[in-house]
Chains A and B, each alone.
Chain A
């Protein structure tokens, strides 16, 4: 398997095997647009499920219980505050979490006692927390501010590093795409949004850009002298870069996702609701989408944007015309349509390779 994978990598690198990712960008744009639409729907219905940090309220954690049956917790709370409908969740193997609306100090003490009695544990095993509704808002407000500052910094850094604002723009669009879809899917899963989730969302920012930077670095390398040659178009060179980094993208994504999957698994099935689980889910979705977008969205977008530059547009036209002309010469008729363009294999030129007589210097046809 590994050998086959390495071989596949070779083929992608040399261009022997090539996926026309940039060429079929309309397909990816459509897929992304559909995904974003779906998440937009998910954000409206069912919508994000705010955790206690955002709603405000009281939280009780009963540890060391032998029976994690949840109804007795609901009954215990309602015996003190009848109008309450507490949310109960299992934490780990022997703990329960009960969340209610905000209770008075007096009620909190009573509920603690009732819960301790219901589960047959001492009151020491029942802890209570109070969380003001402003706490979570504060976190998300700061997260938004962090997002803005981060975007400004990253745009500057990427523009300076790649010396091209269009690349930075493409990376940012891909980043927004990742973020929106992650939040949407998180809403679809229906888990509570806690500060831990917000952490996860914010980390995606870094990861998504990181992934894109690695691909763009190769794109830049491949297209550095794109305009100095007339064999391939800019898009074809960029496409080669995506193909060449495909193995790396897959490897890094798998490697990054493995630990996250481990936390997600342990968090979901063993620990239950909590920090680790929330971070892991947000990261898992975000990283998977981030990999997709760095391959299928960022580079095609970059090409779309770059092709608006007159120099590149002119170059592309020139290359395609020359190719059509050559095809017209060798082919039977002048049926030099674009259909033959995908058959061009784009790869790095290998020293010593015989390019055929057509590649030899020619005398200019005299007029």
Chain B
């Protein structure tokens, strides 16, 4: 067989792996020192406890919801949740869904904020002011708007809207009629509104479209009184951001947002601009309200009436802020409502118990795997254990790293994936070990068997791991929720499995093949060639030849009767036949001397010799076996043989 073409450098490979592990943990450690990393991976909600809401955004028009709109919806929800004071909330999209994870026990109000759909509308600006509350002489109206309402309710009970909001006029002249819309109650609310308080920036539904709205901008820098809704967000056709094109058609350096209305919106917008023309600041402004907050309140340039439905909003935009506003307007163009698909409260105690018991289960599984591989592979089992330990260390490090850099959180299905991976990872070692054994059975010395077995096992391991990886990637890309967590750990451990087999197990085997213990096939090494059915003299490398002790065949006819005649595979070599004949001829006492160990171990190994003596009687004539016709081996008297002739349990 051709020797390995490349020189193997097991130590170097191992060093690379060691450096890689050091780098992973070094990065995480450095992260804990100078950043917000932690040595333990973050836990997902099902282990940490909290509330998870899965929302399905549904466009009112029934159209598909584009990804930018979903991102915008996530922005809106994040704005609401962040300003409601919930920390560490996670809002992410999963396919076309929005998953909101809130730690702890959020209040019903917070949950409502998440569930409410966001709407965009255009309202005229009636008044605006600094964000701080104004101390007014109407303080007697009460500390809260509700109180104001109650106080004002008594004198005027016949109003259709809120009693306190009874306008001073019978009907408004226009939506910009401040006199009609700014009732004392509205004024009082405006006065005491504190836009510097994050609690007032949560947004949400903007309320009755026909009455005035008192609100802030999302940054809390200005507060507004707005008139009734004039144009709905759904009347926007689209919006985009770009550099301004001036009347000469050349591009200036200024970022603007371009907005186009649909036909209904065009007509409404023309009316609005025509009316706002005649008014003075601040009433020549209209406000774009998204989610109850004023995202922009541009004023109209004098003398401009927009009747083609195309508006350009200019101002002190940067590239990003222009893009943001355009996105927000587009969001308004596709009004969403959210359908709650699932809302789960997960108690932390239950999650902790599951994690604890799950880890115990994993540990039990690991111990069982270790015991089994020690039974099956003796000292080789230790290589399995070491490989599993390395795989565990790498996996832990990578998860901690991802948890820090990518915000990965370990969920219960993820833990299950890790535990299941123990078995699948150990599979690759078994595939490799069995290959080494196969090569030994063919009579190769260990060092050659390790290399040749590796060449063959490598292909199998890569092919089967590729299948596993495809499964994991497909699951990850197409699935939601817990399925993703499971698929992720499964895929991750598959990759780590390849890494460990290539960079640890194989080099370690190559090193071990050089030790006397393994190379000479110590019975406890798991690679004992004698037990693997290799008889006779063997070359063990380094110019040394190991001669098997004189062996006598020792199976009973009972056993040999069960062994079919050979066509070729186990036919004896000429040397073997001579040795057997010699053995038969010499005094059987010699057989006694042969260690019980080897006798038993080789019972079946030498079986064919006996088989041959019985074969003609048992089976139909065979075309190629001529050795079958002569009786070669006899059972030496005094050789301990159990009745069955089998070797189970007869050794060690």
Q: Interface residues of B toward A: which range?
A: 35 or more
Question: A180 at interface (Cβ–Cβ under 8 A)?
Answer: no
Q: In the bound complex, do residue A4 and residue B479 qualify as a contact, i.e. CB atoms below 8 Å apart?
A: no
A142 and B483 alpha carbons, distance in the complex (Å) = 10
Residue of A nearest to B434 (CB): A248
Q: Which residues of chain B come closer than 8 Å to A124, judged between CB atoms?
A: 105
Question: A314 at interface (Cβ–Cβ under 8 A)?
Answer: no
Q: In the bound complex, do residue B566 and residue A244 qualify as a contact, i.e. CB atoms below 8 Å apart?
A: no
Q: In the bound complex, do residue A248 and residue B431 qualify as a contact, i.e. CB atoms below 8 Å apart?
A: yes
A326 and B567 alpha carbons, distance in the complex (Å) = 12
Q: Which residues of chain B come closer than 8 Å to A351, judged between CB atoms?
A: 443
Cβ-neighbour of B569 out of A15, A64, A199, A209 (below 8 A): A15
Interface residues of A in 314-367 (CB under 8 A from B): 323, 326-327, 329-331, 339-340, 343-359
Question: B622 at interface (Cβ–Cβ under 8 A)?
Answer: yes
Residue of B nearest to A340 (CB): B620
Residue of B nearest to A210 (CB): B464
Cβ-neighbour of B604 out of A11, A139, A206 (below 8 A): A11
Number of A-B contacts defined by CB within 8 Å: 382
Q: In the bound complex, do residue A61 and residue B347 qualify as a contact, i.e. CB atoms below 8 Å apart?
A: yes
Q: In the bound complex, do residue B347 and residue A63 qualify as a contact, i.e. CB atoms below 8 Å apart?
A: yes
Interface residues of B in 621-644 (CB under 8 A from A): 621-628
Q: In the bound complex, do residue B350 and residue A150 qualify as a contact, i.e. CB atoms below 8 Å apart?
A: no
Contact A346 to B56, CB < 8 A, known contacts A145-B478, A199-B483? no
Q: In the bound complex, do residue A128 and residue B345 qualify as a contact, i.e. CB atoms below 8 Å apart?
A: yes
Q: In the bound complex, do residue A345 and residue B347 qualify as a contact, i.e. CB atoms below 8 Å apart?
A: no
Q: Interface residues of A toward B: which range?
A: 35 or more
Question: B456 at interface (Cβ–Cβ under 8 A)?
Answer: yes
Residue of B nearest to A59 (CB): B344
B515 CB to nearest A CB, Å: 21
Question: B87 at interface (Cβ–Cβ under 8 A)?
Answer: no
Question: A70 at interface (Cβ–Cβ under 8 A)?
Answer: no
Q: Which residues of chain B come closer than 8 Å to A347, judged between CB atoms?
A: 566-570
Q: Which residues of chain A come closer than 8 Å to B480, judged between CB atoms?
A: 138-139, 142
Cβ-neighbour of A92 out of B56, B340, B350, B375 (below 8 A): B350
A259 and B371 alpha carbons, distance in the complex (Å) = 12
Question: A257 at interface (Cβ–Cβ under 8 A)?
Answer: yes
Main secondary structure of the interface of B (DSSP, over half): helix
Q: In the bound complex, do residue B427 and residue A327 qualify as a contact, i.e. CB atoms below 8 Å apart?
A: no
Q: In the bound complex, do residue A63 and residue B456 qualify as a contact, i.e. CB atoms below 8 Å apart?
A: no
Q: Which residues of chain B come closer than 8 Å to A134, judged between CB atoms?
A: 56, 339, 341
Q: Which residues of chain A come closer than 8 Å to B479, judged between CB atoms?
A: 139, 142-143, 146, 202
Interface pick from B176-184, B323-331, B418-426 = B418-426
Contact A209 to B467, CB < 8 A, known contacts A129-B343, A266-B361, A276-B354? yes
A353 and B575 alpha carbons, distance in the complex (Å) = 9
Question: B92 at interface (Cβ–Cβ under 8 A)?
Answer: no
Cβ-neighbour of A255 out of B344, B427, B477 (below 8 A): B427
Interface residues of A in 54-104 (CB under 8 A from B): 59, 61, 63-64, 91-93, 95
Residue in A18, A258, A357 with the greatest tally of chain B CB atoms within 10 Å? A258
Q: In the bound complex, do residue A252 and residue B430 qualify as a contact, i.e. CB atoms below 8 Å apart?
A: yes
Q: List 11 A-B contacts (CB under 8 A).
A: A10-B605, A16-B563, A150-B471, A207-B468, A209-B464, A252-B426, A256-B426, A259-B368, A262-B364, A339-B620, A354-B627
Can you name 11 extra interface pairs (CB under 8 A) apart from A14-B533, A199-B413? A7-B601, A10-B533, A130-B342, A130-B344, A134-B341, A206-B490, A259-B361, A279-B413, A323-B623, A331-B620, A343-B622
